[in-house]
């Protein structure tokens, strides 16, 4: 069967091996207890006798097994030596390609470009962060040739197509765009495999609410320390008419709770660039870029400070603000505008953009205290998602403006107003 599978080069092969649980154990064979319980000393002894195992002492390994394993190790060493010799010849014959191969596998990045004005500059107009992300992705595709990925049949919506890079498939192994189909779990698992192989920087994409379909693969990305980039769009009730089945509520909290997993929800184009920057430079953890369907403003005040996860977007005139407003993503607009209205009413507030609580928590205690000074107890967190996790930052005297119910169907602007996400409501809460 294995030889037949190897000989088939035009399509996948599957080898089905029919097994019996607990095979060989008289007291457990064919029973679920073989899986859920230890065999026990008596069953272990009976199994060894039943299988004619030469020796009943624990962890006994027959000489013929040791010899067989030693031969396998020697074969592996020989294969490695053969491959190394082949690669040395390759480097001499194709020095430029070998240099590129080594660059891909060393995880080198074009840091000069990532720190350049070209990377951080955008047109000053309202635009959805999913569209900003698509623009950033195509900038990166020109300088990172081993960037490779795609979406679960949603590339036009999630803006994850790299222009001019071709489609990967049996007819074109040079293609960098992958079309996974409506297979979110398989897509994320493939992303993990690409990261484990090395040499490739993988990204996968779908609507944020569909991250539920691939949560286990995402968790394994974090568990294995794999730098898979998840591009997750249509991130809130801003989805609008598709209604509560397509409107994420608990999803931000769920992903933020995964150890070694970075969530980045940008407020504008420059913060979106910061999200991609963070995702590319975090070598031992996955990153989710959580992006909007709807247009968001362009802020002159945003920029590289977003790489700290949370930062002061607009500060108070007083050394100690009367209150602190914090938000991520689309809700930054609300606290930004509310701060102006509050100032006109004599309330001097600080506006904090918090695109990534995960990255913010990695900063020094001094930095975090400078952004969120303990003496300022009047705090408000605003996010069109579950309140879970925000109370850590607002404290007992603070408040949250969040959504702890399912969404609804309707125009996005109507939904935001109905759920209380208005400038006036922010002002009233302060």
221-277 tens-digit pLDDT: 999 999 999 999 999 999 989 999 999 999 999 999 999 999 999 999 999 999 999
User: pLDDT by residue (tens digit) across 263-299?
Assistant: 999 999 999 999 999 999 999 999 999 999 999 999 9
Q: Is residue 184 annotated as a catalytic residue, yes or no?
A: yes
Burial (CB count within 10 angstroms: exposed 0-12, middle 13-18, buried 19+), residue 157: middle
Considering the domain 308-429 in this protein, what is its CATH number? 3.40.50.920
Crossing angle of the two packed helices 215-224 and 184-197, in degrees rounded to 10: 20
Q: How many CB atoms lie within 10 A of CB 242?
A: 14
pLDDT of 36 above 90? no
Q: How many CB atoms lie within 10 A of CB 414?
A: 13
The class (CATH top level) of 111-296 is alpha beta
Work out whether the CA dihedral 52, 55, 59, 64 comes out positive or negative: negative
Average pLDDT score over residue span 41-56: 87
Identify the CA nearest to 291 among candidates 212, 356, 234. Answer: 234
CA distance 310 to 349: 16
pLDDT at 55: 74
Q: Considering the chain, what percentage of its residues have pLDDT values greater than 90?
A: 92
133 confidence band (pLDDT: 50, 70, 90): very high
Q: Where in the chain is the domain with CATH 3.40.50.970?
A: 111-296
pLDDT at 207: 98
Q: Which residues contact 50 (CB under 8 A, 6 or more apart)?
A: 24, 25, 26
Structure token pair of residue 160? 């994850």
For the chain, give the mean pLDDT: 96
Q: Where in the chain is the domain with CATH 3.40.50.920?
A: 308-429
Crossing angle of the two packed helices 63-93 and 95-105, in degrees rounded to 10: 130
Catalytic residue among 88, 184, 247, 271: 184
pLDDT at 25: 93
Q: What share of the chain is helix, strand, coil (3-state, %, to 5)?
A: 45, 15, 40
Q: Considering the chain, what percentage of its residues have pLDDT values greater than 70?
A: 100
User: pLDDT by residue (tens digit) across 61-99?
Assistant: 888 999 999 999 999 999 999 999 999 999 999 999 999
Q: Do β-strands 311-314 and 323-327 pair in parallel, antiparallel, or remain unpaired?
A: unpaired
H-helix or E-strand spanning residue 350: strand 349-353
CA-based max dimension of the chain: 88
Q: How many CB atoms lie within 10 A of CB 385?
A: 26
Confidence (pTM): 0.92
CA distance 17 to 107: 39
Range of lowest pLDDT (20-29, 182-191, 220-229): 20-29
Q: Measuring CA to CA, how many Å separate 310 from each of 274, 327, 369, 398, 406?
A: 12, 9, 11, 18, 27
In a 3-state reduction of DSSP, which class is residue 365? helix
User: pLDDT by residue (tens digit) across 350-383?
Assistant: 999 999 999 999 999 999 999 999 999 999 999 9
What are the strands of the beta sheet with 287-290, ordered from one edge? 177-179, 147-151, 201-207, 229-233, 287-290, 262-264
pLDDT at 57: 80
- Burial pattern 200-210, b for ≥16 Cβ within 10 A else e, equals bbbbbbbbbbb
pLDDT of 56 above 80? no
Structure token pair of residue 154? 């949603």
H-helix or E-strand spanning residue 353: strand 349-353
342 confidence band (pLDDT: 50, 70, 90): very high
CA distance 281 to 264: 13
User: pLDDT by residue (tens digit) across 399-424?
Assistant: 999 999 999 999 999 999 999 999 99
pLDDT at 416: 96
């Amino acid at each position: 069967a294995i030889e037949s599978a190897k000989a088939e080069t035009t399509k996948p092969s599957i080898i089905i091996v029919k097994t019996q649980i607990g095979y060989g154990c008289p007291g457990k064979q064919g029973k679920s207890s073989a899986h859920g319980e230890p065999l026990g000393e008596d069953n272990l002894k009976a199994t060894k006798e039943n299988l004619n195992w030469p020796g009943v002492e624990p962890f006994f390994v027959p000489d013929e097994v040791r010899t067989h394993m030693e031969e396998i190790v020697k074969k592996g060493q020989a294969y490695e030596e053969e491959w190394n010799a082949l690669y040395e010849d390759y480097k001499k014959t194709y020095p430029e390609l070998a240099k590129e191969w080594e660059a891909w596998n060393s995880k080198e990045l074009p840091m000069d470009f990532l720190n350049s004005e070209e990377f951080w500059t955008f047109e000053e107009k309202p635009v959805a962060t999913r569209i900003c992300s698509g623009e950033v992705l195509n900038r990166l595709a020109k300088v990172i040739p081993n960037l490779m990925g795609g979406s679960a049949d949603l590339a036009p919506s999630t803006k994850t197509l790299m222009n001019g890079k071709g489609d990967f498939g049996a007819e074109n192994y040079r293609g960098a765009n992958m079309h996974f189909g409506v297979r979110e779990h398989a897509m994320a698992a493939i992303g993990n495999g690409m990261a484990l192989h090395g040499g490739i920087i993988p990204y996968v994409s779908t609507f944020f609410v569909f991250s539920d379909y691939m949560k286990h693969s995402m968790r394994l990305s974090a568990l294995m320390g794999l730098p898979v980039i998840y591009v997750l769009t249509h991130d809130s009730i801003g989805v609008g008419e598709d209604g509560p089945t397509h409107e994420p509520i608990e999803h931000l909290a769920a992903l933020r709770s995964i150890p070694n997993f970075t969530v980045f929800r940008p407020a504008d184009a420059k913060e979106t660039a910061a999200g991609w920057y963070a995702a590319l430079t975090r070598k031992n953890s996955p990153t989710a870029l959580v992006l909007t369907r709807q247009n968001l403003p362009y802020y002159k005040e945003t920029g590289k400070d977003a790489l700290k996860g949370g930062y002061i977007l607009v500060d108070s005139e007083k050394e100690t603000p009367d209150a602190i407003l914090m938000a991520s993503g689309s809700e930054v607009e609300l606290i930004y505008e509310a701060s102006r209205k509050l100032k006109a009413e004599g309330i001097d507030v600080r506006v904090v953009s918090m695109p990534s609580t995960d990255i913010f928590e990695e900063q020094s205690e001094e930095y975090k205290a400078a952004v969120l000074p303990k003496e300022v107890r009047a705090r408000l967190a605003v996010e069109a998602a579950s309140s879970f996790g925000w109370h850590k930052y607002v404290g007992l005297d603070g408040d949250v403006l969040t959504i702890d119910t399912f969404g609804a169907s309707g125009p996005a602007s109507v939904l935001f107003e109905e759920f209380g996400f208005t400038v006036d409501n922010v002002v009233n809460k302060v």
